[in-house]
Structure 1
Amino acid sequence: MAKTPNKLKARLPRGFVDRSAADIRATDEMIGKIREVYEHYGFDPVETPLFEYTDCLGKFLPDTDRPNAGVFSVQDDDEQWMSLRYDLTAPLARHVAENINEIQLPYRTYRAGYVFRNEKPGPGRFRQFMQFDADSIGAPGVQADAEMCMMFADTLDALGLKGQYIIRVNNRKVLDGVMEAIGLGGDENAETRLTVLRAIDKLDKFGTEGVKLLLGEGRKDESGDFTKGAGLNADQIEKVLFFVSITSYAESAEALAELVAGSENGRSGVAELNDIRALVESAGYGEDRIKIDPSVVRGLEYYTGPVYEAELTFDVTNEKGEKVVFGSVGGGGRYDGLIKRFTGRDVPATGFSIGVSRLMTALKNLGKLSSSSEVQEPVLVTVMDGDIEALGRYQKMTQTLRAAGIRAEMYQGNWKKFGNQLKYADRRNCPLAIIQGSDERAAGEIQIKDLIEGKRLSGEITDNVTWRESRPAQHSVKEAELVATVRQLLDQQAEDTRRQNGDN
């Protein structure tokens, strides 16, 4: 007896997701609105490949036999390591460096695409996700950073989030100045500075008192686990907490300037923050949209100047049932040193990245995509006869509808079981069914069934005779009137939907 072969098990890789038609359309709609804002600002698209040589990604150099710390890597035929891109910024830096003599600077560009993280997946943490970036390369002045913040704000407005976000702005140089002011400048204090940075990043989670412990000897959590602190003294801690606890920059700017007065970095950073504030205010962006906020520290070790983050300010319920602020949906800043790795010379750059999936989740929470992302299902041309001549007629009807801009399809299953065609139309939520049997053909007519109006179709309708006798919400028209009647019925359905939504 022959052994039955084992069936291959269908399984989705951990940390990856299949995307539905509704999800894809909602994403396309959102990206279209973002792209429109970027284009309006004079930015142009560019696309880089999913793979880059691993050393070009910078953070993950191939210093082992197989580089896999955070990136997915393979070797090509000449044994060079390539990795799936980790973000969209490093590939852009490579592209600019490689084409620096042909690119017109400042180079204002945007791109959307998937990035990949070879990290342990978890709730809301995926190994593949989409980002949408915008960057200005070759513009050294803070006016470029200010414009990025304004474009970020306009993008969120265009997505229907007006009044529900804040663009928060800080500066790496200011933090460096604070570190120098408390005696933590120089390479010998790099590890301590990193510990301080990590402590500040916990401000939202642990509050001022928790951060104070992490800046000092350390903090013990509820489980008893102890996190060693930065070991700062009371005076150092007070100055750091003053910096990150500023709620009104207008009231604290002078005190901050005094704190970093002995640091060239610090003085420069404060001046840049003041300039950004003046520029955005001149353009009509108040603190309710773009705000100087020294508590923004995420990613500061990567950036060289201004850094900005978009936070959505409305409440959502988390998995514990608690009301929390939705939080960050993207951020960026100035990264003047990245392209220098390739060119050996300074090329100023600033930009930001939007987390597409996270932003889409926010829009769904607010009901901003629920109706506009819906696409009308196709009109179904049913098949009453399967010979080639008849199929040609049905196909012609379908093409006629498509040529008129109407989404349509001809039934491709077993045409002999007419009830299956109706069940298919019902499951597909088709708005209309086009029917032409031999009698209709002889009379030069077509039956158009309004499936929305006659939603109670019985699965027992199995032949054309029964169908004709029931005739629920059915219209008989001349063949020449097909397109006009279909359009009229679809318009009526759309109006009914609008009226229902208005009533609700």
Structure 2
Amino acid sequence: MSDKAKTSRPKARVAKGFRDIDADEIRGVRAMLATIQRVYESYGFEPVEQPFIEYTDALGKFLPDQDRPNAGVFSFQDDDEQWLSLRYDLTAPLARYVAENHLKLPTPFRSYRQGWVFRNEKPGPGRFRQFMQFDADTVGSSSPAADAEVCMMAADTMEALGIARGSYVLKANSRKILDGALQAIGLGGDENAARRLTVLRAMDKLDKLGLVGVKLLLGAGRKDESGDFTKGAELNDEQAAQVMVLLENPFDALRSSDKAAAFRANEIFASGLNELSAMQVIFDAAGYGADRVKVDPSVVRGLEYYTGAVFECELLMETKDEDGNTVRFGSVGGGGRYDDLVARFTGQQTPATGFSIGVSRLYSALKLVGKAATQDTLAPVIVTVMDKDRQGDYWKFVQLLRTAGIRAEMFIGTGNMGKQMKYADKRGAPLVVIQGGDEKAKGEVQIKDLRLGAELAANITSHEEYASQRLAQVSVPEAQMVEQVKKMLG
């Protein structure tokens, strides 16, 4: 066996949890991002970018859905044996940036940023290890107005993207409501941290499991349809009933109902209640009714660094997937207040609040309901190469078209006219420009409309009829090429 036969070749495959993205999605996402940017800038937010890679210790323990530090990220060591990690979100790098530059930044500092984030987690359907986020944050303001503004901006963004009012809702809650309530039922202190987390995870499953399913998870546990058992928080009946008060009652009931009296006696809960009430006043005054933004005590956000208000944007419309099943999109973004994150670097508490959009998830949802932003980009006109020794002439044609604002390219591969036409078809080219020796002698070019040609060819029934016609092809003087191309494209 020859050495060549023994050569080991890599398998062409995309890494697990990652994906390739085609031109249509790239252009569509760009258009969507431009819309989001316009809304954010109309609120006075300014763009800023941080690098993909941060020192691992700058990320801290605030990792998504993880109970141990530095898990869930892609990390490596540099030449100085310093640990570096790919960012897992856009908030931790922003906190580092503000801490490093706080003396020269305005207070509050209002910024937005978009980019890829990376999570070293088990991938699944619709769950990737690389995805894009678009964030907006206000750092340096403890006012509930900052939280309310972020919520209203998120609502305006949904409508700017074509999502009708009533087809989305921005829900707001507070971790103080949740933390205070759990403290009030006897789950305060470090010794109950694991049980509190189990309770919050159970509450977060309300949309999927309903009230009955959540109540089971607050108790001993729940067995699903497959027979798998999920251990619960093991609350007693009285504790579980108190937690269910948060899920079964609207916000106004928490402010006045006897059922929530024990909660209101808790200082942390009362603080969260006051902040949400102040936000509600702003929503009402600004005309953001419950059909757009509403306070919802059932909202739970997973990241550990939230210290106050939390938000979630949910799409309410339904559609069908490829298998004909009804799909409800659910959350496409969220955020909240994180007053302790910058303090990790400075030692001083710095109030901050922000909102993050899951770009890929939102784009997929918009595409399924026909609301995806689009950028109509016509494929280029192809200038074919009939005579290899006249490539300079063909380049001049291309430059004339480009100067006139028309996308154009010269065929730079190898192959006869048949291969060049196949290439043009694969590119989706609307037109091809042809000039052989005969056309050159006459000072003319042939322009073929591939789209019209395909339509006409569909109505031809015989090979002889096809061969006898030059479908959608015209001959014009070289000087009229650009004008004719524009006319045929129009």
Q: What is the CA deviation profile of residues 261-304 of structure 1, one whole-angstrom value per residue up to 9, with x for unaligned ones? A: 21222112111111111112211211111011111012264311
Matched position secondary structure for 1:455: helix
Question: Matched residues in 1 for 2:472 and 2:130: separation?
Answer: 47
Q: Is the 8 A contact 2:430 2:450 kept in 1?
A: yes
Query: Residue 403 of structure 1 corresponds to which residue in structure 2?
Result: 403
Query: Residue 361 of structure 2 corresponds to which residue in structure 1?
Result: 358
CA positional deviation for 1:155: 1.1
Residue identity matched to 1:403? T
Structure 2 CA distance for partners of 1:316 and 1:469, relative to 1, 3 Å: closer
Is structure 2 residue 336 aligned with structure 1 residue 333? yes
Question: Matched residues in 2 for 1:222 and 1:2: separation?
Answer: 57
Query: Residue 371 of structure 2 corresponds to which residue in structure 1?
Result: 368
Question: Matched residues in 1 for 2:216 and 2:122: separation?
Answer: 29
Structure 2 CA distance for partners of 1:182 and 1:319, relative to 1, 3 Å: farther
Structure 2 CA distance for partners of 1:474 and 1:319, relative to 1, 3 Å: closer
CA positional deviation for 1:327: 0.4
- TM-score where L is the length of structure 2: 0.91
Query: Residue 292 of structure 1 corresponds to which residue in structure 2?
Result: 295
Q: Is the 8 A contact 1:260 1:266 kept in 2?
A: yes
Residue identity matched to 2:486? R
Is structure 2 residue 194 aligned with structure 1 residue 204? no
Residue identity matched to 1:476? S
Question: Matched residues in 1 for 2:479 and 2:424: separation?
Answer: 24
CA positional deviation for 1:60: 7.1
CA positional deviation for 1:316: 3.2
Query: Residue 176 of structure 1 corresponds to which residue in structure 2?
Result: 179
Residue identity matched to 1:185? G
Query: Residue 476 of structure 1 corresponds to which residue in structure 2?
Result: 475
Structure 2 CA distance for partners of 1:225 and 1:410, relative to 1, 3 Å: closer
Structure 2 CA distance for partners of 1:369 and 1:229, relative to 1, 3 Å: closer
Matched position secondary structure for 1:19: coil
Structure 2 CA distance for partners of 1:322 and 1:479, relative to 1, 3 Å: closer
Q: Is the 8 A contact 2:62 2:303 kept in 1?
A: no
Matched position secondary structure for 2:313: strand
Question: Matched residues in 1 for 2:308 and 2:70: separation?
Answer: 30
Question: Matched residues in 1 for 2:57 and 2:303: separation?
Answer: 22
Residue identity matched to 1:420? K
- TM-score where L is the length of structure 1: 0.88
Question: Matched residues in 2 for 1:334 and 1:60: separation?
Answer: 14
CA positional deviation for 1:443: 3.0
CA positional deviation for 1:321: 5.7
Query: Residue 267 of structure 1 corresponds to which residue in structure 2?
Result: 270
Q: What is the CA deviation profile of residues 318-374 of structure 1, one whole-angstrom value per residue up to 9, with x for unaligned ones? A: 68864342100110000010000001001111011111111111011112238x344
Is structure 2 residue 454 aligned with structure 1 residue 452? no
Residue identity matched to 1:271? N
Question: Matched residues in 2 for 1:319 and 1:200: separation?
Answer: 30
Q: Is the 8 A contact 1:54 1:60 kept in 2?
A: no
Question: Matched residues in 2 for 1:70 and 1:151: separation?
Answer: 30
Question: Matched residues in 1 for 2:228 and 2:11: separation?
Answer: 42
Q: What is the CA deviation profile of residues 391-425 of structure 1, one whole-angstrom value per residue up to 9, with x for unaligned ones? A: 1121111111111111111111235x112222211
Q: Is the 8 A contact 1:60 1:69 kept in 2?
A: no
Q: Is the 8 A contact 1:22 1:374 kept in 2?
A: no
Residue identity matched to 1:346? Q
Aligned match of 1:242 in 237, 241, 245? 245
Question: Structure 1: 5+ residue runs without aligned partners?
Answer: 62-66, 459-466, 492-504
Residue identity matched to 2:266? S
Query: Residue 500 of structure 1 corresponds to which residue in structure 2?
Result: none
Deviates more, 1:50-59 or 1:444-453: 444-453
Query: Residue 461 of structure 2 corresponds to which residue in structure 1?
Result: none
CA positional deviation for 1:71: 1.1
Q: What is the CA deviation profile of residues 44-72 of structure 1, one whole-angstrom value per residue up to 9, with x for unaligned ones? A: 111111111111111279xxxxx972111
Output the aligned Cα RMSD.
2.3
Structure 2 CA distance for partners of 1:300 and 1:263, relative to 1, 3 Å: farther
Question: Structure 2: 5+ residue runs without aligned partners?
Answer: 64-68, 458-465
Question: Matched residues in 1 for 2:62 and 2:139: separation?
Answer: 23
Matched position secondary structure for 1:364: helix
Question: Matched residues in 2 for 1:254 and 1:300: separation?
Answer: 30
Deviates more, 1:116-125 or 1:5-14: 5-14
Question: Matched residues in 2 for 1:257 and 1:2: separation?
Answer: 81
Question: Matched residues in 2 for 1:469 and 1:300: separation?
Answer: 70
Matched position secondary structure for 1:419: helix
Question: Matched residues in 1 for 2:101 and 2:301: separation?
Answer: 31
In the alignment of these two chains, the number of paired residues is 473
CA positional deviation for 1:189: 2.8
Is structure 2 residue 48 aligned with structure 1 residue 46? yes
Deviates more, 1:29-38 or 1:213-222: 213-222
Residue identity matched to 2:451? I
CA positional deviation for 1:468: 11
Query: Residue 495 of structure 1 corresponds to which residue in structure 2?
Result: none
Q: Is the 8 A contact 1:116 1:127 kept in 2?
A: yes
Query: Residue 66 of structure 2 corresponds to which residue in structure 1?
Result: none
Structure 2 CA distance for partners of 1:448 and 1:318, relative to 1, 3 Å: closer
CA positional deviation for 1:173: 1.0
Structure 2 CA distance for partners of 1:188 and 1:120, relative to 1, 3 Å: closer
Matched position secondary structure for 2:379: coil
Aligned match of 1:20 in 19, 22, 25? 22
Residue identity matched to 2:119? R
CA positional deviation for 1:257: 6.5
Q: What is the CA deviation profile of residues 227-283 of structure 1, one whole-angstrom value per residue up to 9, with x for unaligned ones? A: 33333333322221111222x434553227634321222112111111111112211
Q: Is the 8 A contact 1:168 1:309 kept in 2?
A: yes
Structure 2 CA distance for partners of 1:356 and 1:225, relative to 1, 3 Å: same
CA positional deviation for 1:181: 2.5
Deviates more, 1:312-321 or 1:439-448: 312-321
